[in-house]
């Protein structure tokens, strides 16, 4: 599933290898589909970074929770 638009994608349809699939199954990694990281036909760095910034975990909050435990 794309972490940006939450669209489900078939591994074979997006030509993702099994090793890539296994890698992106890690809970700390995010996957963004081609639609979310492109501007027309080319890769858009600013779009990718904005998606990551919005969806990435709040590191300060995680650190605070860890010190409480």
Within 1-69, where are the H helices? 18-24, 34-37, 45-55, 59-68
Distance CA 15, CA 49 (A): 23
Other Cβ atoms less than 10 A from the Cβ of 68: the count is 6
Is residue 26 classed as helix, strand or coil in its secondary structure?
coil
Convert the pLDDT of each residue in 6-53 to its tens digit. 888 888 888 889 888 888 788 777 888 887 777 666 666 776 677 667
Q: Would you place residue 61 in the very low, low, confident or very high pLDDT band (cuts 50, 70, 90)?
A: low
CA distance 1 to 39: 20
- This prediction has a pTM of 0.53
């Amino acid at each position: 599933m794309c972490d940006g638009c939450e669209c489900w994608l078939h591994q074979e349809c997006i030509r993702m290898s099994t090793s890539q699939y296994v890698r992106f199954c890690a809970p700390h990694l995010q996957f963004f589909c081609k639609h979310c990281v492109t501007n027309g036909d080319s890769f858009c760095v600013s779009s990718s970074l904005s998606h990551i910034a919005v969806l990435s975990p709040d590191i300060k909050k995680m650190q605070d929770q860890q010190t409480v435990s």
